[in-house]
Amino acid sequence: MAACDDKLLLIGALADGELDAANTALAEAHVTRCEACRDELERLEAVRNLMRSEGARHSAPDALRRRIGAMPELAPKAANENRWPGWVTSGAVGALAASLAMVSFVPSTTTAALDQDIVSSHVRSLQPGHLMDVQTTNQHIVKPWFNGRIDFAPPVPELAAAGFPLAGGRLDSVDGKTVAAIVYKRRLHTVNLYVWPEKEANARAFTKDGFSVREWSRSGLRFAAISDIPSGELEQFQQLFVKAS
């Protein structure tokens, strides 16, 4: 069964993380209803993940790097000495340097893809029936609910006294990984906190498609909080969560 002709470009943009939050929600809603388009999206995502996997990228061997680095600067030749014209020599060196740069440096789209996945997951969760698998304000129910469903234990502190009451949790997918999504509220707004195992990484804060996002690492876990509340309030949530957990 072929995917819908009028949706192919949209599906491709969804797989590449090029859509804004509104169009991401529309595309994902269509994919949910259309099996052919869902198969096409899965095919594109499989290709993307394959290209990002180890072994699909190549870097220059160390020996080649040393040889390039040891090349002496080109000195003027005697007038009667046979030599290539200067423009050929400099062009060849420039081409070699450019080739080395292309081989040794392949820009990674992992961060951009992760950012888009977090935003897309947050938007998707706001659709009716998608926000929570377990709905309760009791941290002693939410925390053990994850046991057996994932192979790590995310902290689930209660922050109601500080204005961020716990609402529940669910399993979600970010960057191809199964993650814990812990749901908090801020007045009428939703704060999704995604948690997954990862090595220590730099903390980040940014805004994308109108949503504030804050990421940090602790004790072998990566945390990503996202909401449409002001960035200052999301920073406050981060500080409260870290202190309480």
Residue 225 sits in a domain whose CATH number is: 3.30.200.100
pLDDT in tens, 130-154: 889 999 999 999 999 999 999 999 9
- Residue 86 falls within a domain, yes or no? no
* Averaged pLDDT, 56-72: 69
Angstrom distance (rounded) from CA 142 to CA 155: 10
- Residue 84 falls within a domain, yes or no? no
Q: Residue 193: which domain range? A: 110-244
**Cβ-Cβ contacts under 8 Å for 1 (sequence gap 6 or more):** 35, 36, 39
- Residue 88 falls within a domain, yes or no? no
Q: What pLDDT, on the 0 to 100 scale, is given for residue 217?
A: 95
* Averaged pLDDT, 77-89: 49
pLDDT of 158 > 90? The answer is yes
- Residue 116 falls within a domain, yes or no? yes
Tokens at 238, concatenated: 């981060």
Give Cα 25 to chain centroid, integer Å: 17
For residues 235 and 157, state if they share a domain.
yes
* Averaged pLDDT, 8-29: 78
CB 180 within 8 A of CB 189: no
For residues 129 and 43, state if they share a domain.
no
For residues 144 and 37, state if they share a domain.
no
- The region of weakest confidence among 45-54, 132-141, 196-205 is 45-54
For residues 124 and 239, state if they share a domain.
yes
For residues 44 and 162, state if they share a domain.
no
For residues 118 and 218, state if they share a domain.
yes
- Residue 35 falls within a domain, yes or no? yes
For residues 28 and 142, state if they share a domain.
no
Residue 210's nearest CA partner among 123, 132, 128 is 123
CB 153 within 8 A of CB 147: yes
pLDDT of 169 > 60? The answer is yes
Phi-psi region of 220 (alpha: psi -120 to 50; beta: other; left: phi over 0): left
- Residue 39 falls within a domain, yes or no? yes
For residues 218 and 116, state if they share a domain.
yes
Burial of 116-143, coded b for 16+ CB within 10 Å and e otherwise, reads bbbbbbbbbbeeeeebbbbeeeebeebb
For residues 39 and 135, state if they share a domain.
no
**112 confidence band (pLDDT: 50, 70, 90):** confident
Angstrom distance (rounded) from CA 236 to CA 53: 36
CB 211 within 8 A of CB 21: yes
Sheet holding 177-186, edge to edge: 134-135, 166-174, 177-186, 189-197, 221-227, 211-218, 204-208
- Residue 17 falls within a domain, yes or no? yes
Mean pLDDT of all residues belonging to the chain: 82
Neighbours of 194 (CB within 10 A): 26
Tokens at 77, concatenated: 């030749």
Q: What pLDDT, on the 0 to 100 scale, is given for residue 87?
A: 46
- Residue 139 falls within a domain, yes or no? yes
Quote the strand ranges of the chain, DSSP E: 134-135, 166-174, 177-186, 189-197, 204-208, 211-218, 221-227
The Cβ-side half-sphere exposure at 229, using a 13 Å CA radius, reads 22
**60 confidence band (pLDDT: 50, 70, 90):** low
For residues 139 and 230, state if they share a domain.
yes
Q: How many domains does the chain have?
A: 2
